[in-house]
Amino acid sequence: MKNVTISMEDSVAEWARLEAARRNTSVSRLVGEMLAEKMRHDDVYERALQDWLHRERVWASDGQTYPQRGELAP
């Protein structure tokens, strides 16, 4: 495990202390868990985006023109 020093606004630090107490954990562990969750979320999103970008496109048109905006509105 790596030790790091972070700086934050006083109001953020107060919120972190209260949230850590509410969860019965330390501020250090709370911040570590939040960053780990952010990392997992970002990794999942990036993999999904790359998967979508690299898919073969099989869109096909039947040759008809698109409807006009006024034709779609009720």
CA gyration radius for the chain? 24
Please, what is the end-to-end C-alpha distance for the chain in angstroms? 60
Predicted pLDDT of residue 50: 94
Classify residue 74 by its DSSP letter.
-
Predicted pLDDT of residue 70: 85
Residues in the chain predicted with pLDDT less than 50, given as ranges, are none
The 3-state DSSP composition of the chain as helix, strand, coil percent (nearest 5) reads 60, 0, 40
Predicted pLDDT of residue 28: 95
Predicted pLDDT of residue 68: 86
Predicted pLDDT of residue 66: 83
